[in-house]
Structure 1
Amino acid sequence: MRAEDVVHATSTPLDAPAFPRGPYWFTDREYLRITYRTDPRALEKVVPEPLRVVEPLVCYEVMRMPDTTGLGDYTESGQLAVVEFDGVAGEYNLSMYVDNFPAIASGRDISAYPKKVGKPRLFVDSDTLVGSLDFGSLPVARATMGYKHAPLDADEARQGVTQPTFMLKKLPNYDGTPRICELIRSQITDITVKGSWSGPARLQLFAHALAPLADLPVLEIVSASHVLTDLRLGPGEVIHDYLA
């Protein structure tokens, strides 16, 4: 194989890449998002400078993706902190737990999504929308919401899904010293909202040493939404280099 082919390969193994080249289109991507108030001191411990916590709000979300070009059928779940960067409001992606290896590998390699292996689910149980996350065989999160109780304005739903997302990209040198340590910003701009609803919601978090979502306790539910979309992820950009 020529050197130029090696350079332009999507990923390793060269003869069977871990994921195909993007962009990735998501059809019928479904969200359950519950925003809640938490302990401000606990939140500030996990949000890196120069991001700023203005209000101690966290979003727990489960995303069901049954039709993703190149990556297939999978589900994700995680937490995002409501933050500000240079006066711009957005969300800092604290963690994501995913049941699909190509989605994990591409998310970490191409961008900076903090993805780990987990067992998330999004499903309807009678009249209740349920989002759950297990890590190994143990429960980490259980979210419930009344199924399509009230319509949610499409613009409000779009705003919730498309606000800027901040992520931390870290890669070491071979001696363990930092090689890349950057704050990344991305934003979804290409989206169609196909349905959006609100309703009563509850969220339980269970303590786990390796999936510490419960370190940000639920003090008050602020809002809940259920959104169905078609979309394409936007590219990331470096907004802060910690090594510069």
Structure 2
Amino acid sequence: MKQQDVLRHVTTPLSNPAYAPVVPRFTNREYLNIVYRTDADALRAVVPEPLEIDEPLVRFEVMKMGDVSGYGPYTESGQAIPVSFEGERGEYLHAMYLDNFPATASGREISAYPKTIGSPRLFAENGALVGTLDYGSQRVATATMGYKHHRLDVAEAEAQITVPTFMLKTIPDYDGSPRVFELVRTEITDVVVKEAWTGPARLQLFQHVLAPLADLPVLEVVSASHILTDLTLAPVKPVFDYLKGARS
């Protein structure tokens, strides 16, 4: 394979790439969002500067991807933390667990999504919307919400899922020292909200050393939403370089 041909590839293995070179379009992406109040000290311990925390809130999410170009259907779960950066409000993605390797690999390599393996599920059962997350055979989260109890304003639903997102892009050098260490920003675009609901909700988190969601304990459930949408993820852009101590 000639050098110019090598450069056409974006990932390895060269003859069998881990993911397709496409910009994925999410069709029928279904959210279960539960915002809860947590311990302020625990939150400060995991949110990196220069991001700032206003209230000690966390959004637990389970997302069932109905269809995604390049990846197919899959399910994802994790925690996002409301933050601000230089006056702009957004969310810091703290942890993401999913059951699709191409989506995991591309999310980590091309962008900076903190994705790792997990077994999330989202389904309706006996009048409740149920979201679960297992790590191996162990349950680490169970969320329940009244199924379609009250309609949620479409504009409010869109505002919930389109806030700017901040993540850490970390790539080690060959000696183990940091080669890239950046705070990056992205956002959701081309959004079509098809359905949006709210209602009563509960959330349980269980201790696991390799899936430490419960390190941000649930003190009070603040709100919940159930949203069905189509959307596209914008490319990430660096906004702060930790190795330089300044904006990129």
Instruction: Give the TM-score range, shorter chain.
Output: over 0.9
* Match in the other structure for 1:19: 19
TM-superposed CA distance for 1:19, in Å, is 0.3
Please say if residues 10 and 20 of structure 1, whose CA atoms lie closer than 8 Å, have aligned partners that are also in contact. no
TM-superposed CA distance for 1:57, in Å, is 0.5
| 3-state secondary structure, aligned to 1:46 | coil
Letter in 2 for 1:178: P
**Percent of matched pairs sharing the same residue:** 61
Unaligned runs of 5+ in 1: none
| 3-state secondary structure, aligned to 2:181 | strand
* Match in the other structure for 1:116: 116
Letter in 2 for 1:10: V
Letter in 2 for 1:167: M
TM-superposed CA distance for 1:191, in Å, is 0.7
Question: Which whole-Å CA distance do the structure 1 matches of 2:86 and 2:42 have between them?
Answer: 22
Unaligned runs of 5+ in 2: none
Question: Which whole-Å CA distance do the structure 1 matches of 2:54 and 2:22 have between them?
Answer: 35
Question: Which whole-Å CA distance do the structure 2 matches of 1:107 and 1:215 have between them?
Answer: 24
| 3-state secondary structure, aligned to 1:42 | helix
| 3-state secondary structure, aligned to 1:67 | strand
Measured against aligned partners, the alpha-carbon deviations of 1:76-118 in whole angstroms (never above 9, x if no partner) come to: 0000111110011111000000100000000000100000000
* Match in the other structure for 2:130: 130
* Match in the other structure for 1:238: 238
* Match in the other structure for 2:84: 84
Question: Which whole-Å CA distance do the structure 2 matches of 1:152 and 1:173 have between them?
Answer: 47
Letter in 2 for 1:180: V
Letter in 1 for 2:186: S
* Match in the other structure for 2:219: 219
Letter in 1 for 2:142: R
* Match in the other structure for 2:180: 180
Question: Which whole-Å CA distance do the structure 2 matches of 1:87 and 1:222 have between them?
Answer: 24
| 3-state secondary structure, aligned to 1:202 | strand
Find out whether 1:162 has 2:162 as its counterpart.
yes
Please say if residues 134 and 141 of structure 1, whose CA atoms lie closer than 8 Å, have aligned partners that are also in contact. yes
* Match in the other structure for 1:74: 74
Alignment map for 1:41-60 (pairs within 5 Å): 41-60=41-60
Question: Which whole-Å CA distance do the structure 2 matches of 1:224 and 1:21 have between them?
Answer: 35
* Match in the other structure for 2:203: 203
Q: CA RMSD in A?
A: 0.6
TM-superposed CA distance for 1:160, in Å, is 0.5
Please say if residues 19 and 105 of structure 1, whose CA atoms lie closer than 8 Å, have aligned partners that are also in contact. yes
| 3-state secondary structure, aligned to 1:189 | strand
TM-superposed CA distance for 1:40, in Å, is 0.4
TM-superposed CA distance for 1:22, in Å, is 1.9
| 3-state secondary structure, aligned to 1:103 | helix
Aligned residues: 244
Q: How does the TM-score come out when normalised to structure 2?
A: 0.97
Letter in 2 for 1:141: A
Question: Which whole-Å CA distance do the structure 1 matches of 2:64 and 2:182 have between them?
Answer: 28
Question: Which whole-Å CA distance do the structure 2 matches of 1:64 and 1:173 have between them?
Answer: 35
TM-superposed CA distance for 1:5, in Å, is 1.7
